[in-house]
Chains A and B, each alone.
Chain A
């Protein structure tokens, strides 16, 4: 029952995040979806990642969204889809149904018992290069964001020059 409620809430949050007309409420629904994902992962036996998802996904990213929406501002009149709607729906149905058809029969089983293991030993033992690259990525992301937001003033004349 617990799982059913979470799944229903998750899907409602996701649909609302996409449907809602205002970007700000979209971001808040997204935070809700994130929190429910974290809860689901906790129940599936992944508490560490759940905590990170809760703080990063529901916390940090939401703050960033609100920040960005504040700077960029809401924009009216961007509602119509550039693609024909039947095509969109048909394609999504094909993808989702075919993945489900491929995956579901194999997965309709009870969850096996949880075998506790140490996350950090896996991270540093078998995925050391990935972790190092992730750290590099975080730095690159931070630098990229700083560069992009800090460059706003000198960027304008450069842009005009490129257009000429």
Chain B
């Protein structure tokens, strides 16, 4: 059992992706969905840094991860604000309540 750090990083990335996907697929609570999105994005952030490190230009990987952080934070902010508004309008955070556009 001697795994290299890069192997471990890949396992961490895959694990985070899997957990994030599970949260997106199986949660009914909107805030939980946003938590899942955050976990997913952490995986991709790590992937950028790892890829940068492996090709020998970790700074480029860092700059991409920085973009991911910014976008991710904005997504969280807007998502949470929308969730709060939805709770106010519909009285629930259930994603099943959000199918009104279809009708």
Contacts and interface: CB of A to CB of B under 8 A. Distances in A.
Contact of B8 (A3, A14, A112): A3
A148 B12 CA distance: 36
Interface residues of A, number: 87
Contacts of A108: 4, 6-7
Interface in B3-19: 3-12, 14-19
Contacts of B61: 46
B4 A109 contact: yes
Nearest to B7: A108
Interface SS majority for chain B = helix
Given A18-B22, A37-B42, A78-B28, A137 B71 contact: yes
B29 A107 contact: no
A100 B67 contact: no
Interface string B33-72: 0111011001001100110111011111111011101111
Interface of B: 3-12, 14-23, 25-29, 31-32, 34-36, 38-39, 42, 45-46, 49-50, 52-54, 56-63, 65-67, 69-74, 76-78, 80-85, 87-89, 92-96
8 contacts: A11-B12, A17-B23, A33-B42, A34-B42, A44-B9, A45-B49, A78-B29, A107-B6
Q: Please list the 6 inter-chain residue pairs (A to B) with the smallest Cβ-Cβ separation, ordered nearest first.
A: A141-B74, A81-B26, A68-B80, A117-B59, A72-B87, A148-B81
Interface of A: 3-4, 6-7, 10-11, 14-15, 17-18, 23, 26-27, 30, 33-34, 37, 40-41, 43-46, 48-49, 52-53, 56-57, 60-61, 64-65, 67-69, 71-73, 75, 78-83, 85, 88, 91-93, 95-96, 99-100, 103-104, 107-112, 114-115, 117-119, 122-123, 126-127, 130, 134, 137-138, 140-142, 144-145, 148-149, 152, 155-156, 159
